[in-house]
Amino acid sequence: MKYTKNHTTQRWFNRQAVRHVYDWVGALIIALIVLVLLFSLIFRVVEVSGNSMQPTLYNGDRLVLSAVNFAYVPGDIVVIDRYVKEPLVKRVVVLEGDEVEITDTGILYINGVQQYEAYIQGDIVQNDMVESVTVPEGYVLVLGDNRADSLDSREDEVGLIPMEDLVGKVVFRIAPFSSFGSVYRNLENNLG
């Protein structure tokens, strides 16, 4: 069989096309592996269950959280691993070494200073927490934003949270799409 210049050129273009396809497939596979590693080691997606974080988060909201270890600060929204029970999504309010008191009239004091939290809904109630508590080293106190309807550190069932039980800090909301973005937006608008 005799090859013409057109036939040789066509074979060269076919090889180039196959190389491009292999390059694209290879790039897609690498991108997929990186994405799987990111979302299994660094980021996680969780869904809010219940109304305890209203008005900041609502039942069914889907959140991305960072699972890398870092220093938590009051105001951070975190996911708490409860092992055999459903994880909790709550706000860090008090850090280790701080003293917290919730009065019978629902006023929150940290280290003797009355707190103003623009993001909360409902009156604060004491629940099982009837006296001031100093948070021990390695623990945090968490509360839901909907203070009247939240299972949180005020309850003996939950109590103070060991730092190692914090799965990570919520970074942003991905669903519903109408609320896509930072979950701290309202906090920044109210306090900024």
Q: pLDDT tens, 23-61?
A: 899 899 999 998 888 777 788 889 999 999 999 999 999
Other CB atoms within 10 Å distance of the CB of residue 83: 6
Which is the catalytic residue, given 5, 40, 85, 90? 90
The CA distance from 33 to 147, in Å, is 41
Who contacts 81 (Cβ-Cβ below 8 Å, separation ≥6)?
87, 165, 166, 167
Whether the predicted pLDDT of 186 surpasses 60: no
For the chain, the first-to-last Cα distance in angstroms comes to 79
Q: Which of the four pLDDT bands, split at 50, 70 and 90, describes residue 192?
A: very low
Take residue 102 and report the two structure tokens written for it.
């919730």
Q: To the nearest whole number, what is the mean pLDDT of the chain?
A: 85
- Say which residue the tokens 């708490």 belong to: 80
Which of 49, 52, 85, 169 is labelled catalytic? Answer: 52
Task: Please tell me the total number of residues recorded for the chain in this structure.
Answer: 192
Read off the tokens for 52: 């305890």
In this prediction, residue 36 carries a pLDDT of 83
Tokens of 116: 């103003």
The mean pLDDT of 97-120, rounded to a whole number, is 89
Confidence band, pLDDT 50/70/90 cuts, at residue 141: very high
Reply yes or no on whether 90 is catalytic: yes
List the single range of 64-68, 181-185, 187-191 with lowest mean pLDDT.
Answer: 187-191
2 is catalytic: no
**Whether the predicted model's global pTM rises above the 0.85 cut:** no
* Cα dist from 76 to 156, 164, 186, whole Å: 22, 16, 13
The 10s digit of each residue's pLDDT in 79-100 is 998 776 788 999 999 999 999 9
